[in-house]
Amino acid sequence: MSTHAKLTYEGKEYTLPVVEGTEGERAVDVSQLRQSSGLVALDPSFGNTAATESSITFIHGEEGILRYRGYPIEQVAERGRFTEVCYLLIYGERPSPEKLREFRKRLTYHTLLHEDMKKFFEGYPANAHPMAMLAAMFASLATFYPEESTAVDDNIARVIAKSKTIAAFAYKKSIGQPFMYPKNDLSWPANFLRMMFAVPSEPYEIPEVFEDALNLLLILHADHEQNCSTSTMRMVGSSEANLFASLSAAICALWGPRHGGANQRVIEMLEAIQEDGADLPGFLDKVKDKKSDVRLMGFGHRVYKNFDPRARILKRAADRIFNELGISDPLLELAKRLEETALEDPYFVERKLYPNVDFYSGLIYRAMGIPTSMFTVMFTLGRLPGWIAHWLEMKTDPSGYRIHRPRQIYAGPREREFDDRGTRHM
């Protein structure tokens, strides 16, 4: 492999180092390009730019590969539990049984919110979007747990533990029901389901199929290398903003419909198609008409130009869960038909548009009784360990880290005089 690339410009030749990753990915290192040539690289949505070297997650877009710290997602999804995957992503290795017990115990004893935080929920309107509440609550954690360098592991445990409580409280707020407090003898997923759906007046039996389904969904969403929200986490963290502030920013980035907000839009899209008489060819014609601004939500991906392996796993899981529950959801059948129809259409095949993680996830959340407005919150709960892992990887980089500050190419007016138009005292 060549270890350098050459750039020729205006009669001069510049030699640029080439970096190769563990899986053979290669990058031209342009970190000294400006100093040596006066040139900068331009890549507006970073589709051709590696922001960092990272050891956390590997994705091969053409082959539909996803691995967490080297472990194939199919195996992690089948055999893992969410709290162990959190530890693996954040600390780099699977914990020993003793370390896992200690980690889970810390999570258990950090699940409660400070009682004063409950008052924050009272100020929101009933129809407040839970992602707005989540972003505010995560930033507010910094007022209760000031970031100390010695407290990083405690704060990591706090956010993973309290995230499910904040999410469940946001849901209870939206339906006007009393908050349910966590129980220390329940798993992370079971504790969340109970806080979401139990009421003080009667016992609540946690359906095992739901606990397992939630564990799977959390694992599948846990990390995905330098996606929009994770890049936001690294960007904000690079200014030395604390963990809570960085997470609040990542939550806001995930909220967008092009990113984590897509799972909510997929269900809304399927419901609209169904109301419209399930005219799939007619709907896809609208999608293909650029002027319509209609997108096939849950399809397409910046990296995967083959199947998103998570979508494959979720499609099988949806079938299994619906069979176990003995229910059928017309939207699941509609989604499958929509996928088949799209994958036979040259528009989608030529653009390598396949179902992504958001295409089937919402159908499973729906079956669990989770409202559409909470879907992106569910994505947040899953992605937390990934955001934390990348933040910590940057913070503990032995070669240090600099504040993220991209350059630009100015394309505005040249110098001109700001003449006195007598407006100073208007």
Which residues are designated catalytic?
301, 358
CB of 347 to ligand SDX, least distance (A): 8
Report in angstroms the alpha-carbon separations of 314 from 192, 214, 322, 400: 20, 11, 12, 38
* Contact flag: residue 305 with ligand SDX (CB under 6 A): no
Cβ atoms of 286 and 345 closer than 8 Å: no
Any idea of the CA torsion for 277, 280, 282, 287, to the nearest 10 degrees? 130
Structure tokens at 339: 């996928």
* Contact flag: residue 301 with ligand SDX (CB under 6 A): yes
Q: What SS3 state is found at 418?
A: coil
Q: Which of 66, 214, 353, 388 binds ligand SDX (CB under 6 A)?
A: 353
CB of 30 to ligand SDX, least distance (A): 22
* Binding positions for ligand SDX, 25-64, rule CB under 6 A: none
Q: Which of 136, 262, 273, 331 binds ligand SDX (CB under 6 A)?
A: 262
Going by the DSSP 8-state scheme, the letter that residue 177 receives in this structure is P
Residues whose CB is less than 8 angstroms from the CB of residue 419 and which lie 6 or more positions away in sequence, other chains included = none
* Contact flag: residue 364 with ligand SDX (CB under 6 A): no
Structure tokens at 418: 């700001």
CA gap 282, 42 in Å, rounded: 39
Report in angstroms the alpha-carbon separations of 199 from 186, 214, 343: 16, 20, 44
* Contact flag: residue 298 with ligand SDX (CB under 6 A): yes
Q: Which of 81, 99, 106, 295 binds ligand SDX (CB under 6 A)?
A: 295
Q: Which CB atom, from 227 or from 380, has the smaller least distance to ligand SDX? A: 227
Cβ atoms of 220 and 386 closer than 8 Å: no
Q: Which CB atom, from 110 or from 224, has the smaller least distance to ligand SDX? A: 224
Residues 199-218 as b or e (16 or more Cβ within 10 Å = b)? eeeeeeebbebbbbbbbbbb
Q: Which of 76, 168, 296, 363 binds ligand SDX (CB under 6 A)?
A: 296
String marking each residue 68-87 x if it binds ligand SDX according to CB under 6 A? --------------------
Q: Which of 165, 174, 356, 361 binds ligand SDX (CB under 6 A)?
A: 356
Q: Which CB atom, from 295 or from 404, has the smaller least distance to ligand SDX? A: 295
* Contact flag: residue 259 with ligand SDX (CB under 6 A): yes
CA nearest to 187, candidates 83, 88, 97, 98: 83
Dihedral (CA of 408, 351, 372, 111) sign: negative
The stretch among 95-103, 257-265, 313-321, 387-395 that binds ligand SDX (CB under 6 A) is 257-265
Q: State the CB neighbour count (10 A cutoff) for residue 304.
A: 26
CA nearest to 19, candidates 4, 41, 39: 4
* Contact flag: residue 299 with ligand SDX (CB under 6 A): yes
Any idea of the CA torsion for 158, 160, 164, 165, to the nearest 10 degrees? 0
Q: Which of 133, 357, 364, 389 binds ligand SDX (CB under 6 A)?
A: 357
Q: Which of 287, 335, 377, 392 binds ligand SDX (CB under 6 A)?
A: 287
CA–chain centroid gap for 297, Å, is 16
* Contact flag: residue 224 with ligand SDX (CB under 6 A): yes
Report in angstroms the alpha-carbon separations of 244 from 82, 163, 224, 397: 21, 11, 20, 20
Residues touching ligand SDX, count (CB under 6 A): 21
Q: State the CB neighbour count (10 A cutoff) for residue 161.
A: 22
* Contact flag: residue 219 with ligand SDX (CB under 6 A): no
The stretch among 25-33, 123-131, 206-214, 295-303 that binds ligand SDX (CB under 6 A) is 295-303
CB of 317 to ligand SDX, least distance (A): 16
CB of 407 to ligand SDX, least distance (A): 21
CB of 413 to ligand SDX, least distance (A): 30
Q: Which CB atom, from 159 or from 220, has the smaller least distance to ligand SDX? A: 220
* Contact flag: residue 297 with ligand SDX (CB under 6 A): yes
By beta-carbon distance, which residue lies closest to ligand SDX? 300
* Contact flag: residue 370 with ligand SDX (CB under 6 A): no
Residues forming contacts to ligand SDX in the complex (CB under 6 A) are: 224, 227, 258-260, 262, 287, 295-303, 351, 353, 356-358
